[in-house]
Amino acid sequence: MSQQKLQTEFQFANPGEMSIREALEQASDAHDFYFSYQSSLVEVDKPLPLDHYNGTIAGFLAEALGEQYEFREIPGYIIIRYAPGVLDLEAEMETGSRQVTVKGHVKDLRTQKNLGYATVYERNTLTSTLTDQNGYFELKLRQSNPSIWLTLGKENYRDTTFMLLPQVDIQAKRGNGRFRYYPDDGSAEEMEQSFFGRMFIGVRQRFQRLNLGGFFAENPYQMSFIPGLSSQGMFSSQMINKFSLNLLGGYTAGVDGFEAAGIFNINQRDVRYFQMAGIFNMVGGEVNGFQVAGIFNSVYKNVSGFQVAGLHNHTRGRARGLQVAGLYNRTDSTANHQIAGLINKAKGTTGFQIAGLANLARNHANGLQLAGLFNHTKGTAHHQMAGLFNKAGHVKGSQFGLVNIAESSDNPIGLVNFVKNGKKSLALGTDESRFAHLTLRSGGRKFYGLLGTAYFPGQTEAPLALEAGFGLHLLETRAYTMDLELVIRVATDFRNVSNHTNSFKYLHGFNMGKNTRLFAGPTFNFTVLDPGQDISVPGMVFYERTNRHGTYGLYGGFIAGIQYVF
């Protein structure tokens, strides 16, 4: 690896209270790179033990942190590892006609004790194994290179590379394989601790990840039957492939092309372009492209593209694109678009949510929420439509449902609207049909809903009625209001009779005080009366017709009453 940054000249003067973290930030800002380290193991907040420094960055790190750390460099990063231990190798080679077998022990250089569960891999072929509990290993390699580069890795030990030479034709040649580095952010460990991670990721592969840290290799393809039983052997969990085929399931570092599995795919880091599995996909990094699973997809970082699951999608980061699930979509951060058979849940949305049952957004919903039962947004919502009720903090667009609840909403379109800064009133009135009405009006600054009951004293055929409708505030001053309403009334005896009246009302209100208002206005009505009743069309009749199905009438009327505004 290149050592350009580590050998860069660096100088500074310590004003007396500088921490190691501040000195690292000064070095990275001056030379345009990042430091990567595990904060629980590197004590960067303690005081810097240097008054001044003039030398290379590598020398500065050695003096500031001490000899228990090692420093590696890859493009854009200097990696600081806590590695007080030093590895040693005791090995022998057996050369066959087509393969070389390397056997030996991995030891602690200082104590000479054998070390169990250390990673041993050959850098040219990327063939790897773990030592057993006694530190013994056996590695079979294709006989393609005359020299063998064995790299030893173990958590809290310095990576160490040995070159093994056969007895003849001595030459040293390294392969040109490509490597990547990803800083440890805890997502791989979290994935391993999940239910499916514990079920399908073996102990040996977990040691492999710990020993090799954030280093990964690239390879054109891999095939596996189950995790660990693959064309790349134990090294598959550290390999990023262009093409990956898992007959039952596989555990790889990531995909930069195409991956398919009969049952499951598990990836330690990122997936790009296309991934499909018969049961589930689980990705510790990001997904960029198309991901489809028969049951569920689980992504520990962001998704950019199209995510489809038969039952459930879960993205712990952002979901930029479209999530489609048979039952449930969940995004722990912001989602763009979600479609689910039952429930969509996100921290916030920038597009639409469509669900058969419910949509839930914790912070904001900046598009359309459409649900069969209810929508709930704790923060700001734009447009909500639900079969039963909508609830939001502040609504910038409209709410359409039987019941709407909001801190503020100008345009709630529902029968009952509980808007904190809205308007509510309870009215008692009568009209040309001689029904006495008790009506609740509730809504926002422009639209409101109404729900009420009515009673016709002395009427025996259809004395009780239920009313529902919508209204629009046209004008409001301190003394006068003007409203339009569309109301449906159903009068019945709860046995045989059911009379329907649709009314368009033009109401004028006159404020008599802070909470009291008188209202009156003309109405235009269409009524349908069941046959066999001693009831006629009321008001100013414009049209009336009677047949065996009942009486149909078009008429004008008048309504008046008193409101209590609260």
What's the predicted TM-score (pTM) here? 0.70
Residue pair 306/287 in contact (Cβ under 8 Å)? The answer is no
Q: At what angle do helices 20-31 and 57-65 cross, to 10 degrees?
A: 170
Are 244 and 146 in the same domain? no
Query: Which range marks the domain in which residue 526 is found?
Result: 423-565
Residue type, 115: L
Which of 347, 378, 411 is where one domain is finished?
A: 411
Residue pair 184/38 in contact (Cβ under 8 Å)? The answer is yes
Are 78 and 195 in the same domain? no
Are 272 and 286 in the same domain? yes
- Compute the half-sphere exposure of residue 109: CA atoms within 13 Å on the CB side of its CA: 13
Which of 177, 195, 225 is where one domain is finished?
A: 177
**Segment 319-330 mean pLDDT:** 97
**Segment 307-311 mean pLDDT:** 98
**What is the per-residue pLDDT for 176?**
46
**Segment 64-80 mean pLDDT:** 84
**What is the per-residue pLDDT for 528?**
96
Question: Hey, what are 207's tokens?
Answer: 């040691």
Are 75 and 114 in the same domain? no
Query: CATH number for the domain including 520?
Result: 2.40.160
Query: Is the confidence at residue 532, as pLDDT, over 90?
Result: no
Residue 520 lies in a domain: yes
**What is the per-residue pLDDT for 125?**
76
Query: Is the confidence at residue 454, as pLDDT, over 80?
Result: yes
pLDDT digits (tens, 9 = 90+) for 159-168: 888 877 554 4
Question: Which tops the pLDDT comparison, 390 or 148?
Answer: 390
Are 406 and 427 in the same domain? no
Question: Which tops the pLDDT comparison, 47 or 507?
Answer: 507
**What is the per-residue pLDDT for 324?**
98
**What is the per-residue pLDDT for 303?**
97
Collect contacts of 395-401 with beta carbons under 8 A, ≥24 apart: 398/447, 401/374, 401/375
Are 122 and 194 in the same domain? no
Q: How far apart are CA 289 and CA 9, in angstroms?
A: 42
Are 557 and 496 in the same domain? yes
Residue pair 311/298 in contact (Cβ under 8 Å)? The answer is no
Residue 417 lies in a domain: no
Are 118 and 173 in the same domain? yes
Residue pair 31/12 in contact (Cβ under 8 Å)? The answer is no
Residue 3 lies in a domain: no
Question: Hey, what are 137's tokens?
Answer: 């290993």
pLDDT digits (tens, 9 = 90+) for 177-231: 466 766 666 777 788 888 888 888 877 777 777 777 677 778 888 999 988 788 8
Q: How far apart are CA 106 and CA 148, in angstroms?
A: 16
Residue 191 lies in a domain: yes
Report the percentage of the chain scoring pLDDT > 90. 57
**What is the per-residue pLDDT for 172?**
39
Are 332 and 211 in the same domain? yes
DSSP class of residue 20?
Answer: H
Are 350 and 256 in the same domain? yes
Residue 505 lies in a domain: yes
Query: Is the confidence at residue 340, as pLDDT, over 50?
Result: yes
Which of 158, 177, 196 is where one domain is finished?
A: 177
Query: Is the confidence at residue 171, as pLDDT, over 50?
Result: no
* Cα distances (Å, whole numbers) of residue 474 to 290, 398, 425: 50, 17, 17
Residue 182 lies in a domain: no
Structural domains of the chain, count: 4
Span of 98-102, 176-180, 473-477 with lowest mean pLDDT: 176-180
pLDDT digits (tens, 9 = 90+) for 232-287: 776 778 889 999 999 999 999 999 999 999 999 999 999 999 999 999 999 999 99
Are 485 and 442 in the same domain? yes
**What is the per-residue pLDDT for 73?**
82
Question: Hey, what are 65's tokens?
Answer: 């942190």
Are 169 and 256 in the same domain? no
Residue 416 lies in a domain: no
**What is the per-residue pLDDT for 203?**
74
Query: CATH number for the domain including 70?
Result: 3.55.50
**Segment 38-62 mean pLDDT:** 84
Q: How far apart are CA 317 and CA 319, in angstroms?
A: 7
**What is the per-residue pLDDT for 168?**
43
Residue 247 lies in a domain: yes
